[in-house]
Amino acid sequence: MSLGKTLTLSTGAKIPQIGLGTWLSKPHEVENAVEVAIRAGYRHIDCAMIYQNQDEVGRALKKVIPSVVKREELFITTKLWNTAHKPELVEPELNESLKQLGLDYVDLFLVHWPVAFPPVPAGSSLEPEDPNRPGWAVLDLETSLTDTWKAMIKLLDTGKVKAIGVSNFRPDLIEGIVKETGVWPVVNQVEAHPLNLQDDLVEFCKKHNIHITAYSPLGNNMAGAPMLTEWAEVKEVAQKYNATPAQVLIAWGCKRGYSVIPKSVTPERIISNFQQIELSDEDYEKLCDLGRKNPKRYNVKTTYPPFWDINLFNDPLEKDVTHQIKIV
């Protein structure tokens, strides 16, 4: 069984290039998906508190450790949710994720979004709604990214995280937290597929040895638009390689040096997504042209409820927002 390629992070640790995404996996689906994936050779699983299924992921891990894999052979990522950005909440939330996953440590702990929400009581919605503005999330505009990042840095001494990083961060946000703390994120996990090239971000991350993990590599499944796997241009390339469209999209991300975390709960897809193919420069460029002509970012929080009234990406769809991110 092939375990696939790995890439080296700035810490020296290896990250398996293809991992399994777990967002929007329905109850009882993700446990099976994680087990199937690990038995098929996946060693990298992407999790988050907000996916509200980490206990199921944990149950799957329990089934395969140590009979199929040793813990140290796996690369497990989880993320700090927006309601736990206050410094004193960062370690307790990590502890809760570790409990759900049944682990002593994670390989990577990310700040999920550069946006804070007020803390919420256990058991209530993790996207608290503004009572005066139905459909919109309440923001915590006091806690800065630097406050949160300092608490993330402290975790490195606890042995409970091997590396820390960010997700959905623009270059100026990363520069801001590094200026205040001197500590670079090891990873930035961002939406990345041929329609969302974000060459500036990619160049910035390369220059500063920040590894990029590509989320929604097949096109975001929340957006209601046809997935990129349905696009004629992608299908045409796939035919040439006798591959699936998903394999082509995953290969596109791999060629850019990303790790790529397609989500699936369908065993045949989980297995085929892990079978890596390599694109020619010409086919890679053909796919890049799709984004050069029609750039599209799907995961814009002003486009689906609960809406977030804050500028995340300087995307045209965010032009009417009220707030900017507080870095310091």
Segment lying near ligand NAP (by CB under 6 A), choices 82-90, 211-219, 232-240, 280-288: 211-219
* Cα 204 from Cα 199, distance rounded (Å): 9
Q: Single out the catalytic residue among 51, 215, 284, 298.
A: 51
* Cα 223 from Cα 291, distance rounded (Å): 17
Residue 76 C-beta: closest distance to ligand NAP, Å: 12
Segment lying near ligand NAP (by CB under 6 A), choices 58-66, 139-147, 203-211, 269-277: 269-277
Letters for 143-182 (x = contact with ligand NAP by CB under 6 A, - = none) are ------------------------xx--------------
Residue 214 C-beta: closest distance to ligand NAP, Å: 8
The vertex-85 CA angle with 80 and 91, nearest 5°, equals: 60
Residue 151, token pair as written in the block? 């608490």
Letters for 273-292 (x = contact with ligand NAP by CB under 6 A, - = none) are x-------------------
Bridge partners, residue 106, by sequence: 161
CB 168 within 8 A of CB 200: no
Segment lying near ligand NAP (by CB under 6 A), choices 68-76, 80-88, 124-132, 213-221: 213-221
- According to the binding rule CB under 6 A, does residue 229 interact with ligand NAP? yes
- According to the binding rule CB under 6 A, does residue 258 interact with ligand NAP? no
Task: Return the C-alpha torsion angle 125, 163, 8, 185, nearest 10.
Answer: 80
51 is catalytic: yes
H-helix or E-strand spanning residue 147: helix 145-155
- In the chain, at which residue ranges do the beta strands (DSSP E only) sit? 6-8, 14-16, 20-21, 44-46, 75-80, 108-111, 164-167, 187-191, 211-215, 259-260
95, 266, 280, 324: residue in contact with ligand NAP (rule CB under 6 A): 266
97, 144, 189, 196: residue in contact with ligand NAP (rule CB under 6 A): 189
112 is in an annotated binding site: yes
215, 231, 252, 284: residue in contact with ligand NAP (rule CB under 6 A): 215
Total residues at the site for ligand NAP (CB under 6 A)? 30
**Residue of 109, 97, 106 whose CA lies nearest to 49:** 97
Residue 102, token pair as written in the block? 């049944």
Segment lying near ligand NAP (by CB under 6 A), choices 10-18, 60-68, 265-273, 312-320: 265-273
The distance from CA 306 to its chain's CA centroid, rounded to whole angstroms, is 19
Backbone angles phi, psi at 274, to 5 degrees: -85, -15
Bridge partners, residue 188, by sequence: 166, 212
Residue 228 C-beta: closest distance to ligand NAP, Å: 8
Q: Which residues are annotated as a binding site?
A: 112
Q: Which residues are annotated as a binding site for substrate?
A: 112
Residues that bind ligand NAP (CB under 6 A): 21-24, 46, 112, 167-168, 189, 215-221, 227, 229, 244, 246, 261-266, 269, 272-273, 299
Active site positions, annotated: 51
